[in-house]
A and B are shown apart, each in its own frame.
Chain A
Amino acid sequence: MTIQEIQDEIVEEFNLFEDWMQRYEYMIELGKSLPLIAPEFKTDDNIIKGCQSKVWVHAELKDNQLLFSADSDAIITKGIIAILIRAFSNQHPKDILDADTNFIDQIGLKEHLSPTRANGLVSMIKQIKLYAIAFQTQLN
């Protein structure tokens, strides 16, 4: 699936819920199923700055595709990363760079996060794109 297709799918899923409590329940569930980062990558270097809770993200390249793994000490944050990883993991770095992130606005996530969490979300997306730039340079 392309990034756009996955994003459309996520938006559709979020629209199925009646209210934000249900969406939060869904994010918590996603958080519990997040593919965890290997302990050796859970280092201070991999902590994303700008998040109020601790967030670690690691990326590696496999068959020209970028694989992300992550963890956080807060479960809702884990749910948010799980959504981002679903949208951007297993994709070519260039596709990640070119992808827009409108789906975040479409599901209304930002308005329903506290300002600190919304900033954290922006930092996470930025970090994912930065990884894509770094690995894209390797591929060139």
Chain B
Amino acid sequence: MTYKEIDSKKVRADFPILSREVNGQPLVYFDNAATSQTPQQVIDVIVDYYSRYNANIHRGVHRLSQEATDAYELARQTIQTHFNAAKAHEIILTSGTTHAINIVASGYAALLKEGDELVVSAMEHHSNIVPWQMLCEKTGAQLKVIPMTQLGTLDMDAYDALLNKNTKLVFVNHVSNALGTVNPIEEIITKAHAVGAKVLVDGAQAAPHIKADVQALDIDFYVTSAHKLCGPTGVGMLYGKQDLLNALPPYQGGGEMIAEVTFAKTTYADLPHKFEAGTPNIAGGIAFGAALDYMNEIGFEAIAAFENELLVYATNELEQVEGVQIYGQAPEKTAVLSFNVKGIHPYDLGSILDQMGIAVRTGHHCAQPIMDFYQIPGTVRASFSFYNTKEEIDRMLVALKRAISMLQ
């Protein structure tokens, strides 16, 4: 396989935020799994929208509305092409991953009955647990959990044992936000389909690193957020196979999602509008498309290869530091390093690192079941992106050693 090399200097110049200082030190941004930074190319698209053609979409007869509608729908097509969806209207633009999951979970309330079973993995983000628990409360369906192993992988034998003819839905993240584990979604999907269950893949953590082909993988529902993909916050997507989306009742009522309204009866609009009530985040949607264009221009193979190099380097270096315990050592991982230092609370480490300009995440990462599994209050999580460098990892290690000597 050949891929273009990442030119760090050139890439970093695209991100204005990377040249700022924090606490008097040049920023080292290692919280990419929470939110990626935004390149100037994407910022320009947002500014251009508000400067030239800010207007409501899909209904105006005037020129600005037409331009905004065209740009928004073009973004939908960009997203469709990126994830290889069969049809553009299978892409529903949402406020983010959480919103997208809630559309499906709320819709399934009409399709489930008591005795039905849902399967979730033990390494989900709370946003891929709580909506389903709410669904179970409403319908009397049962939630079953695929356990995880010490390495931070899913116990696939246990998964096999959980599946049966009552299983209606399986939801699993493509990549774990707390550990970086890449889950075997292909196998998960094939096995779920064999018993007639549908699968929702939470791609929030995977999408910045792995281009998922929803048709090749035969994914039923795929969700992600633009802000993990160099795009703005407050926008994301739900992909669903056309038949499945048509079978779901609308999530919110309002303008835009209707075909006809009388006080006697309202008929709903076709996809995607049925799930897009109200004025959407228009600038955000357009910028989402621009962010995918930006990342595709760099190339996902190049991104994955470069980030893996950072991960291997950082893992090897971090393992040399005394007392460090890394959580999540799956054979296939994205560039996430979740760790603790013996005898030190992750919050203390994170605070001292911040004083030295290093942005990492500390805490339970909205994945408390994983922390309970390892019986820890949380971890320090450093997550890398293609605009990070080995020099920044070196700076983190120096800062980490200083923090450890202060705290021990």
Contact = CB atoms under 8 A, between A and B. Distances in A.
A124 interface: no
A53 interface: yes
A7 to B, nearest CB: 23
Interface string B325-345: 000000000000000000011
A54 B347 CA distance: 11
A65 interface: no
Interface string A70-101: 00011111000000000000000000000000
Interface stretch (A20-28, A37-45, A56-64, A126-134): A20-28
A112 B356 CA distance: 12
B215 interface: no
B34 interface: no
A24 B347 contact: no
Interface of B: 23-24, 344-345, 347-348, 350-352, 354-356, 363, 377, 406-407
A53 B355 contact: no
A71 B146 CA distance: 37
A76 B349 CA distance: 9
Contact of A54 (B355, B356, B377, B406): B377
A24 B348 CA distance: 10
A137 interface: no
Which secondary structure dominates chain A's binding surface? helix
B380 to A, nearest CB: 12
A53 B348 CA distance: 10
A28 B350 contact: no
Contacts of A76: 347-348, 351-352
Nearest to A53: B347
Interface string A94-126: 000000000000000000111011000000000
Nearest to A21: B355
22 contacts: A19-B24, A20-B23, A21-B352, A21-B355, A21-B356, A24-B351, A24-B355, A24-B406, A25-B406, A28-B348, A28-B406, A52-B347, A53-B377, A75-B345, A75-B407, A76-B351, A114-B350, A114-B351, A114-B354, A116-B363, A117-B347, A117-B351
Interface in A1-51: 19-21, 24-25, 28
Nearest to A54: B377
Residue of A19, A52, A113, A116 contacting most chain B CB atoms (<10 Å) = A52
A28 B344 CA distance: 12
A27 to B, nearest CB: 10
Interface residues of A, number: 19
Given A24-B351, A113-B351, 15 more contacts: A20-B23, A21-B352, A21-B355, A24-B352, A24-B355, A28-B407, A52-B363, A53-B345, A54-B377, A74-B348, A75-B345, A75-B348, A77-B347, A117-B347, A117-B351
A24 B355 CA distance: 9
A114 B24 CA distance: 16
B131 to A, nearest CB: 24
Contacts of A28: 348, 406-407
Contacts of B24: 19
Contacts of B344: 75
A73 B377 contact: yes
A28 B351 CA distance: 12
B362 to A, nearest CB: 8
Interface hub of B24, B345, B347, B406 (most chain A Cβ within 10 A): B347
Contacts of A53: 345, 347, 377
Contact of A20 (B355, B363, B377, B407): B355
Contacts of B347: 52-53, 74, 76-77, 114, 117
A117 B363 CA distance: 12
A38 to B, nearest CB: 22
Nearest to A75: B348
A117 to B, nearest CB: 7
A113 B350 CA distance: 11
A127 to B, nearest CB: 19
Nearest to B344: A75
Contacts of A114: 347, 350-351, 354
Contacts of A24: 351-352, 355, 406
A28 B355 CA distance: 14
Contacts of B363: 52, 116
